[in-house]
């Protein structure tokens, strides 16, 4: 579907799709440029922060992902438990539903116009044919299959009802791997959706999105900023935005990416790497830090420090899920939209209503 290349052919959108189109994709808004050398500075910050660990970790890069960084900074005991690999056996139904959801959303883009259930069943059968743990769940019978299918149908429907159709001109990619080296660290990230491509003129037009089935939590903002950091190191240019999107309520984390937010993400990488090397080389014991994350910890049944019931949880708020703090400034300079070659920069922001059509 052609959304806006002629500036007047935007499709009719649901209210939620319109909000994502206007506020998250911000079609028509100016895109900032990045100061030259920012990626090199970030890479050097990480490399310098872990340089003294090289003698203790001589045999190649230390691999860090979103999950391992979050684990080691939340509870070192959980990090070590997860390093032993996933528990043997069938994929849990909620995890399986997530696997199916991501692939079904991709199918809905590559093969539009079909019923959601068709995407979901095709995705489930594909996963069952490729993944032994998923197949073990799938072969458990129709009750397990029903849980997976029903959960995935809800999530895929939520995505399709919340997001405008993804224009091919935006170069949408699904679960694309991003990897970058910084000193002895090798970072790896795989956002659920990437829109836009790095540009030679230094304008930042890439948008990274990770999808969650539940409510947003504070750490989701940090996850999105980690994705932005890996993208910056990989492409030498920061993305325009990076966010975690909740399929439950259609909210998203603060998507802005700034030098400050990227520097904070780099400092988290350094802190995680230092702890990981110390724990893996057994130079000190793991500190146990119970919390909400105990619910998903493989060590929780036997851990003496496990928080009862999974630890304290944030009090519900009448204002909805907690939102991450808004950065104090957005210091990247803005650049004027370029109508010739950047679909994100269309239509002219001076005439948004006319250009976006009746909606």
Q: Nearest residue by C-beta to ligand SF4? A: 77
Beta carbon of residue 311, minimum distance to ligand SF4 (angstroms, whole number): 7
Identity of the residue, 12 or 295, whose beta carbon is nearer to ligand SF4 in the bound complex:
295
Identity of the residue, 293 or 344, whose beta carbon is nearer to ligand SF4 in the bound complex:
293
Residue bearing tokens 């090289």:
54
3-state secondary structure 199-252: CCCCECCCEEEEEECCCCCHHHHHHHHHHHHHHHHHHCCCCCEEEEEECCCCCE
Q: Which residues of 170-207 are buried (b: 16+ CB within 10 A; e: fewer)?
A: bebbbeeebebebbbbebebbbbbbbbebbeeebbbbb
3-class secondary structure, 307: coil
Beta carbon of residue 314, minimum distance to ligand SF4 (angstroms, whole number): 17
Beta carbon of residue 77, minimum distance to ligand SF4 (angstroms, whole number): 3
3-class secondary structure, 189: strand
Identity of the residue, 85 or 325, whose beta carbon is nearer to ligand SF4 in the bound complex:
85
Q: Which residues bind ligand SF4 (CB under 6 A)?
A: 75, 77-78, 288, 290, 293-294, 297, 299-300, 303, 305-306
Identity of the residue, 168 or 305, whose beta carbon is nearer to ligand SF4 in the bound complex:
305
Identity of the residue, 71 or 162, whose beta carbon is nearer to ligand SF4 in the bound complex:
71
**Backbone torsions φ then ψ of 158, nearest 5 degrees:** -60, -40
**Backbone torsions φ then ψ of 107, nearest 5 degrees:** -60, -40
Cα R_g (the chain), whole angstroms: 21
- The bridge status of strand 334-335 relative to strand 31-32 is antiparallel
Beta carbon of residue 322, minimum distance to ligand SF4 (angstroms, whole number): 21
Beta carbon of residue 287, minimum distance to ligand SF4 (angstroms, whole number): 9
Sheet strands side by side (includes 193-195): 173-174, 193-195, 207-212, 241-246
Identity of the residue, 209 or 306, whose beta carbon is nearer to ligand SF4 in the bound complex:
306
Identity of the residue, 92 or 202, whose beta carbon is nearer to ligand SF4 in the bound complex:
92
Beta carbon of residue 237, minimum distance to ligand SF4 (angstroms, whole number): 37
For the record, the structure tokens of 307 come out as: 């928080």
């Amino acid at each position: 579907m052609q959304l806006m290349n002629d500036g007047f052919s935007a499709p009719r959108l649901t209210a939620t799709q319109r909000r994502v189109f206007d506020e998250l994709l911000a079609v028509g808004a100016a895109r900032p440029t990045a100061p030259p050398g920012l990626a090199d500075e970030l890479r050097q910050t990480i490399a310098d922060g872990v340089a003294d660990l090289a003698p203790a970790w001589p045999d190649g890069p230390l691999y860090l992902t979103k999950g391992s960084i979050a684990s080691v900074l939340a509870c070192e005991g959980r990090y070590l438990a997860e390093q032993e690999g996933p528990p043997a056996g069938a994929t849990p139904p909620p995890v399986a539903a997530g696997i199916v959801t991501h692939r079904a959303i991709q199918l809905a883009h590559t093969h539009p116009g079909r019923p959601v259930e068709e995407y979901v069943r095709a995705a489930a059968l594909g996963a069952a044919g490729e993944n032994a743990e998923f197949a073990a769940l799938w072969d458990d019978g129709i009750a397990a299959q029903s849980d997976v299918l029903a959960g995935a149908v809800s999530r895929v429907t939520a995505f399709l009802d919340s997001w405008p159709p993804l224009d091919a001109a935006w170069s949408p990619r699904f679960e694309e791997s991003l990897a970058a080296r910084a000193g002895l660290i090798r970072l790896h990230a795989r956002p659920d959706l990437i829109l836009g491509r790095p540009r030679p003129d230094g304008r930042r037009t890439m948008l990274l999105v990770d999808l969650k089935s539940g409510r947003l939590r504070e750490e989701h903002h940090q996850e999105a900023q980690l994705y932005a950091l890996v993208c910056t190191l990989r492409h030498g240019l920061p993305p325009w935005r990076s966010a975690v999107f909740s399929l439950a309520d259609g909210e998203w984390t603060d998507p802005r990416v700034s030098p400050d937010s990227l520097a904070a993400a780099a400092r988290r990488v350094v802190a995680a790497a230092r702890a990981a090397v110390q724990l893996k080389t057994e130079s000190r014991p793991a500190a146990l830090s119970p919390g909400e994350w105990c619910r998903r910890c493989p060590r929780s049944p036997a851990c003496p420090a496990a928080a009862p019931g999974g630890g304290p949880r944030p009090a519900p708020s009448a204002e909805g899920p907690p939102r991450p703090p808004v950065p104090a400034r957005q210091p990247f300079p803005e650049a004027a939209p370029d109508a010739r070659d950047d679909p994100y920069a269309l239509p002219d922001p001076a005439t948004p209503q006319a250009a976006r059509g009746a909606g």
